[in-house]
Amino acid sequence: MFFQFPMEIFKKHAKIISENGFISVEKGSIMDISKRQAGVLRPVSSLPSQHGIGTFGKEAYQFVDFLSESGQSYWQMLPLNVTAYGDSPYQSPSSTGLNYYFIDLDRLREKGLLTKQEIDSSGLDDDGKRVNYGNLFDKRIPLLKKAYSRFDTKDSRFRLFVADKGFNDFAFYRTRKERFHYRPWYEWDEEYKTYSPELEEEIKKEHKDTYLFYVWTQYEVLSQYKALKKYANSKGIKIIGDRPIYLARDSVEVYKYPHLFRLDEKHNPTVVAGVPPDCFSADGQLWGNPIYDWDERKKDNYSWFHQRIDHNLTIFDVLRIDHFRGFADYYAIPYGEKTARNGKWVRGPGEKLFEGRKNLSIIAEDLGTLDEPVKNLRKTVGYPGRKVLQFAFDGDRNNPRRPSKTSENTVCYTGTHDNEPRKGYLDHLSPEQLNVFKQGVKEECALYHVDYKDDTLENLTRTLDSLCYAGPSFLAIVPIQDILALGDFSRINHPSTLSTDNWSYRTSKEDFSDEVKEFLLANAKKYNRI
């Protein structure tokens, strides 16, 4: 049995966020590529804190101050989605649910919902070097439930938030998963594996307090994020958000709206997402996400995807759309395969998906092997693409990632969250490869009047930072690890792997010295990005 997706959900969701003051943004704004600016890529999770993970608390405000004083204009975050197995924000169990781990506990204490003693004795303190997701799961959720037990659920704004049902799906699914000890829906008892409206109402009625708790987490995390974003905007800092293209199989959308995806009669995926083998991975990347049924979605003019984009643009100033090439051609791997070797490219929805939606503040993540359909799609929609300097210097003077081969309508990155930090990348190059890399960097630096230094790998890394600022791209974004010239230990993610090293790296307060601030400010001034 199939159920129609309520297309008003994202529209109503955006409406309540804006009308009730949770988020305040200028709608319909367009990035001005004639204005050169710069920013920093830093996950919220990597912020320092005393309670196990970065939050929307005081350290986030301090980072905004650092950006402002460094001449920056953007803070790019990774997806704020709630995470599940594997801790990846790109394997989210909900397209709308935000990560309640980002709720700042000190803010809850200030509201009288927690005491200092309760926070201090919670066991959430750590060495500050890695996020321990297992510990967060065991100890932060019970602490949040204690805070919720003291919250006035009769508060008029909260009651309106609940009544709007913008986070109904998220809260219903989390409630159901909790009752099944957090197992995915396809491992539930048979009578619960198939969704029905009657089942949903039964769950919400029998477990009302749990359901309202998960709605409250969204109310609170949005409230804290809204205050942070308002502060950032007042300091001249805009937020770049990130929207994963796919959802996890263990998600409320796959469970409740199976018609969105390519599933069989038992709701198992017929194909899953990934990318083919390349020079970085002999087996390719097997992501495992169910793939959308684009042919069926075309029948309603892709309404669900339009609403999803609109929803994200009510939260962020600019939206990065992950794996943009998947809209032109997507790589489909037969379900059950152990690697990505046996997949094939399939034509995606293309420009039809973006009809009437070209004037939006969107960055297209167009990395990977790009064929003509992908290039034509980005050219048609007009969204700026991305150029990653780490891949620009392979000895080919016509490499399209070189600044001299780049247009203004691009965003230049020194690296991404999926790559080795640049210092680590340079550490692993052979002497011959390093010489080729240095020669390419030196040639580009001469073109853009960048002081070239390579006496140490740290200085070569800083030279790349400056070249990113100097190039023609209207926006330069440098990951925090590259700014700090850190090695492999600071890598955010190793694609297609499960590891406690993924998504867990954290920075410290000591990393943000006056020297680092002055370096960024000097580059912003010298290369006209203020």
Active site residues: 322, 365, 418
Structure-block tokens of residue 423: 């210092």
The C-alpha atoms of residue 188 and residue 104 are separated, in whole angstroms, by: 33
Which residue type does 473 have? Answer: S
* Residue 348 and residue 327 in contact, taking contact as beta carbons nearer than 8 Å: yes
The C-alpha atoms of residue 164 and residue 286 are separated, in whole angstroms, by: 37
* Collapsed DSSP state (helix, strand, coil) of residue 439: helix
H or E segment at 168? helix 168-179
- Number of C-beta neighbours around residue 363 at 10 A: 23
* Collapsed DSSP state (helix, strand, coil) of residue 126: coil
Alpha helices (H) in 55-124, listed in sequence order: 58-69, 105-110, 116-120
In whole angstroms, how far apart are CA 72 and each of 2, 232, 235?
48, 11, 10
* Residue 310 and residue 230 in contact, taking contact as beta carbons nearer than 8 Å: no
End-to-end CA, the chain: 56
Per-position b or e across 176-189, b if 16+ CB within 10 A of its CB: bbeeeeeebbeebe
Name the strands in the sheet holding 238-243, side by side, starting at the edge strand that comes first in the sequence: 362-364, 318-321, 238-243, 74-76, 37-41, 475-479, 410-413, 385-388
